[in-house]
Amino acid sequence: IAGITQAPTSQILAAGRRMTLRCTQDMRHNAMYWYRQDLGLGLRLIHYSNTAGTTGKGEVPDGYSVSRANTDDFPLTLASAVPSQTSVYFCASSDSSPGGSDTQYFGPGTRLTVL
């Protein structure tokens, strides 16, 4: 692995189903983020984690949950998918420790369609 990876690349999901989007980074970054990107709205933060074991809510957290059991992995779960969650989902990570650059590096994204 080099950088940050996401799986799956794309997914079509029936409404009401549960879905987990996976994100893994190998840069040992302390902070990780989940965004959704919709046309004309830009990137919106769903949840974030400043360090393993802690998580926080972003701008649009409803309907989503996250966990951060270790430094590398930050899965995003949709408990019961709805059509409004159709979007492109990006995971990102950054070195936000003292002296770190805070620059966020993005995974390739997951394109999710909820029918």
Binding site for other proteins (CB under 8 A): 40-45, 90, 96, 101-109
When the beta carbons of 40 and 99 are compared against other proteins, the nearer one is 40
Q: Amino acid letter at 32?
A: M
Shortest distance in whole angstroms from residue 18 CB to other proteins: 25
Q: Map tokens 């393993």 to a residue.
A: 52
Shortest distance in whole angstroms from residue 99 CB to other proteins: 14
When the beta carbons of 3 and 16 are compared against other proteins, the nearer one is 3
Rounded CA separation 46/63 (Å): 10
Shortest distance in whole angstroms from residue 43 CB to other proteins: 4
Shortest distance in whole angstroms from residue 12 CB to other proteins: 17
CA 82, 86, 88, 89: dihedral to nearest 10 degrees? 0
CA 19, 12, 112, 86: dihedral to nearest 10 degrees? -100
When the beta carbons of 14 and 39 are compared against other proteins, the nearer one is 39
